[in-house]
């Protein structure tokens, strides 16, 4: 059952007097439950409990944390239809997507459970002593990763499960040993509360300290601001717009004690069409891209919003087929009336720019809150000179840039902001011929794709989901896959510490049997 209340540790609480409702975008009506925005006292209590919980949670064994993570996955699955129905009513997304995202969320929780059971993720590095060394004896130094402290997580509107309450950020923070306070996304507060109840049940069942998790409702930015400024909060995870992520980064860096903000933000995901691939298969590529641009009503951070090619008949053909094909695709419902009004506003802003031509724009009547897919084209010089054209239009929208030659295409890549992905559509031999284009793209992106589409982010250890600013605030880390745990930890060294007082991870006997680096050699052996 959805109560509309906040989870402050194990307690459901609603002491505030600001209320709000979520919206069913398909029906364009408010959903039933009323949500109570967290009061200042509730925010204080959640943070206090989290910092108290940290003292026990940070020392918890990998197997105990894994039980907690697996129990969250079990509790989410146990909610079955209620969760799926709530997700659909708050997002307008279809059942298949809801179930797929639930599967991804469960998979992430279980992958982190496996990681912490195995235990080697702490990067244990041991340099044994050499007290006879002259002129100065060498001390015994042992290093491992330790958790940062309470983490605040902001989820995005477009992933109510996988990048939200029990999404990747939360699962990674729990695995690291950090308590989590979620600032619930106002557009899917019901889905958020249900998942919060699953986390809470799992925490109680597996004996976690109270305060290891809280879920705070809010309809505006104030609660998030209060959380990021709170001295007991030690890190922030954010998935959303560049505007939101940048605001939080600035707030966090202005604190007396600045803290890290790992923000995953917007991106236009450039796609580079190289000449021979265009000669060989421009129509097929166009058909594939019509689908990629409209997938999920274009509401993906990896949506291909920018396509770069060299002017000529092959690119003309590509634009024609892309435009013809995209119009045939049935429009889908966007997540919220605010999202569609932002889409229309941002798109109109681009369409009003000098030199932009619309090549596809659905003209038919469409259902309420459904998005009209749009393809535009512009000359390379115009694109270079107008930064407005470089901004994300969150929705089923893309600009095809017609460059006068490959040099102009490369210049454009060099002027782009940092991006999550870059895609090269090419024949194999073009990779070495256009190596400076590939190098330029590699400088601007976190992931480079060969002859594919950027939409679809596999969850696996080798995935890098992030990129140079503003795709993310710290391009050294991924937000997807088990290595995202590295965002919530810091390296810590023990010097000359008695063996029996060291954590098991660093003891001579290696009781956990993990892989460590001892005096420069990777091994699972004892010392
Ligand atoms: P959003 O408007 O930035 O909202 C995300 C969250 O941040 C919300 O909870 C929002 O709170 C909060 N927020 C926004 N501005 C804030 C501020 N100035 N101070 C404090 N809190 C603030 O983004 P969205 O519409 O939910 O998501 C769409 C965007 O996310 C797109 O740009 C998309 O590309 C990006 N995205 C990125 C990734 C990635 O992995 N890189 C994944 C998915 C989506 P309120 O709603 O309460 O204001």
Ranking 131-140, 304-313, 358-367, 499-508 by mean pLDDT, the lowest is: 358-367
Owning domain of residue 311 = 270-450
| Residue 202 contacts residue 212 (beta carbons within 8 Å) | no
Q: What is the pLDDT of residues 257-301, one digit of tens each?
A: 999 999 999 999 999 999 999 999 999 999 999 999 999 999 999
In a domain, 317, yes or no: yes
d(CA 9, CA 215): 8
Cα–ligand 1 centroid distance for 185 (angstroms) = 9
| Residue 259 contacts residue 235 (beta carbons within 8 Å) | yes
d(CA 27, CA 369): 9
Band of pLDDT at residue 420, cut at 50, 70 and 90: very high
| Residue 88 contacts residue 94 (beta carbons within 8 Å) | yes
Q: What is the pLDDT of residues 105-154, one digit of tens each?
A: 999 999 999 999 999 999 999 999 999 999 999 999 999 999 999 999 99
The 10 Å Cβ neighbour count of residue 401 is 26
In a domain, 352, yes or no: yes
Beta-strand relationship, 419-425 and 445-450: parallel
**Alpha-carbon Rg for the chain in angstroms:** 25
Band of pLDDT at residue 78, cut at 50, 70 and 90: very high
Q: What is the pLDDT of residue 80?
A: 87
Mean pLDDT of the chain: 97
CA 183 distance to own-chain centroid: 15
Q: Tell me the H-state helices in 206-235.
A: 222-229
Grouping H, G, I as helix, E, B as strand and the rest as coil, residue 413 is helix
In a domain, 316, yes or no: yes
Question: The pTM is what?
Answer: 0.97
d(CA 341, CA 347): 10
d(CA 287, CA 321): 7
Q: Find out whether the peptide bond into 135 is cis, omega within 30 degrees of 0.
A: yes
Q: What is the pLDDT of residues 168-177, one digit of tens each?
A: 999 999 999 9
In a domain, 32, yes or no: no
Percent of the chain with pLDDT over 70: 100
Q: What is the mean pLDDT of residues 225-243?
A: 98
Q: What is the pLDDT of residues 350-407, one digit of tens each?
A: 999 999 999 998 888 899 999 999 999 999 999 999 999 999 999 999 999 999 999 9
Structure tokens, 280 = 């060989």
Structure tokens, 344 = 């229309």
Q: What domain count does the chain have?
A: 1
Question: Does residue 203 have a pLDDT over 90?
Answer: yes
Cα–ligand 1 centroid distance for 241 (angstroms) = 4
Percent of the chain with pLDDT over 90: 99
Band of pLDDT at residue 194, cut at 50, 70 and 90: very high
| Residue 71 contacts residue 63 (beta carbons within 8 Å) | no
Within 13 Å of residue 351, how many CA atoms lie on the same side as its CB? 13
Question: Does residue 345 have a pLDDT over 90?
Answer: yes
Which of 22, 108, 240 has the most ligand 1 atoms within 8 A of CB, as the residue to mutate? 240
d(CA 227, CA 233): 7
The CATH number that applies at residue 378 is 3.40.309.10
The 10 Å Cβ neighbour count of residue 207 is 11
Question: Does residue 511 have a pLDDT over 90?
Answer: yes
d(CA 49, CA 181): 10
- Of the listed 37, 101, 178, 301, which one is catalytic? 301
Q: What is the pLDDT of residue 362?
A: 86
Annotated catalytic, 301? yes
In a domain, 64, yes or no: no
d(CA 87, CA 135): 67
Q: What is the pLDDT of residue 398?
A: 98
| Residue 169 contacts residue 239 (beta carbons within 8 Å) | yes
Structure tokens, 13 = 């609480």
Q: What is the mean pLDDT of residues 424-435?
A: 97
In a domain, 7, yes or no: no
In a domain, 519, yes or no: no
First to last CA, the chain: 54
Q: What is the pLDDT of residues 17-54, one digit of tens each?
A: 999 999 999 999 999 999 999 999 999 999 999 999 99
Grouping H, G, I as helix, E, B as strand and the rest as coil, residue 464 is coil
Q: Tell me the H-state helices in 153-263.
A: 168-176, 189-205, 222-229, 242-254
Widest CA span in the chain: 84
DSSP 50-85: HHHHHHHHTT--HHHHHHHHHHHHHHHHHHHHHHHH
Structure tokens, 16 = 């505030």
Torsion of CA 453, 456, 457, 458, to 10 degrees: -100
Q: What is the mean pLDDT of residues 307-326?
A: 98
Which of 20, 188, 244, 246 has the most ligand 1 atoms within 8 A of CB, as the residue to mutate? 244
Q: What is the pLDDT of residue 364?
A: 84
Band of pLDDT at residue 413, cut at 50, 70 and 90: very high
In a domain, 95, yes or no: no
Within 13 Å of residue 488, how many CA atoms lie on the same side as its CB? 31
Q: What is the pLDDT of residue 363?
A: 82
| Residue 79 contacts residue 198 (beta carbons within 8 Å) | yes
Residue with the nearest Cα to atom 23 of ligand 1? 240
Annotated catalytic, 333? no
Residue with the nearest Cα to atom 13 of ligand 1? 244
Q: What is the pLDDT of residues 80-112, one digit of tens each?
A: 899 999 999 999 999 999 999 999 999 999 999
Q: What is the mean pLDDT of residues 485-511?
A: 98
- Of the listed 37, 90, 264, 408, which one is catalytic? 264
- With a 6 A CB cut-off, is 392 part of the ligand 1 pocket? yes
Q: What is the pLDDT of residue 202?
A: 98
- With a 6 A CB cut-off, is 35 part of the ligand 1 pocket? no
């Amino acid at each position: 059952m959805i109560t509309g209340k906040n989870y402050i540790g194990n307690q459901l609480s609603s002491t505030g007097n600001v209320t709000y409702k979520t919206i069913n975008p398909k029906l364009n009506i408010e959903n039933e439950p009323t949500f109570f925005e967290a009061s200042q006292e509730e925010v204080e209590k959640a943070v206090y409990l989290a910092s108290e919980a940290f003292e026990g949670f940070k020392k918890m064994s990998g197997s105990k944390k894994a039980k907690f993570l697996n129990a969250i996955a079990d509790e989410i699955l146990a909610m079955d239809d209620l969760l799926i129905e709530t997700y659909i009513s708050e997002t307008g997304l279809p059942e298949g997507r809801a179930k797929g995202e639930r599967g991804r969320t469960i998979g992430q929780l279980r992958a982190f459970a496996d990681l912490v059971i195995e235990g080697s993720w702490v990067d244990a590095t041991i340099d044994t002593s050499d007290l006879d060394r002259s002129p100065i004896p060498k001390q015994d130094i042992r290093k491992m990763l330790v958790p940062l402290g309470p983490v605040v997580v902001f989820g995005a509107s477009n992933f109510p499960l996988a990048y939200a309450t029990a999404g990747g950020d939360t699962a990674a923070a729990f695995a690291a040993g950090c308590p989590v306070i979620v600032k619930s996304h106002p557009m899917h507060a019901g889905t958020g509360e249900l998942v919060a109840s699953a986390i809470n049940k799992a925490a109680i069942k597996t004996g976690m300290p109270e305060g290891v998790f809280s879920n705070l409702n809010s309809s505006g930015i104030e609660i998030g601001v209060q959380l990021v400024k709170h001295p007991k909060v030690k890190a922030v995870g954010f998935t959303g717009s560049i505007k939101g992520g940048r605001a939080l980064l600035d707030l966090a860096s202005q604190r007396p004690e600045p803290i890290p903000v790992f923000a995953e933000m917007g991106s236009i995901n450039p796609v580079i069409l190289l000449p021979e691939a265009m000669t060989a298969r421009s129509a097929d590529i166009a058909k594939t891209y019509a689908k990629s641009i409209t997938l999920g009503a274009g509401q993906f951070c990896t949506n291909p919003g920018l396509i770069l090619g060299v002017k000529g008949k092959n690119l003309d053909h590509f634009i024609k087929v892309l435009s013809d094909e995209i119009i045939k695709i049935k429009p889908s419902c966007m997540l919220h009336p605010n999202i569609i009004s932002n889409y229309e506003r941002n798109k109109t802003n681009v369409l009003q720019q000098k030199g932009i031509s619309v090549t596809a724009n659905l003209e038919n009547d469409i259902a309420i809150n459904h998005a009209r897919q749009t393809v535009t084209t512009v000359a390379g010089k115009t694109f270079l000179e107008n930064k407005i054209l470089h901004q994300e239009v969150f929705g089923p929208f893309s600009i095809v840039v017609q460059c006068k030659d490959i040099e102009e295409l490369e210049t454009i890549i060099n002027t782009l902001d940092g991006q999550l992905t870059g895609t090269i559509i090419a024949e194999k031999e073009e990779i070495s011929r256009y190596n400076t284009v590939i190098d330029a793209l590699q400088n601007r992106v976190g992931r480079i794709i060969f002859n594919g589409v950027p939409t679809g982010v596999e969850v696996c250890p080798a995935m890098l989901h992030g990129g140079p600013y503003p795709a993310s605030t710290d391009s050294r880390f991924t937000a997807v896959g088990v290595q995202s745990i590295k965002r919530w930890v810091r390296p810590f060294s023990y010097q000359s510490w008695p063996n029996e007082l060291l954590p098991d991870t660093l003891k001579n006997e290696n009781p956990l049997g993990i892989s460590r680096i001892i005096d420069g050699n990777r091994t699972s052996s004892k010392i």
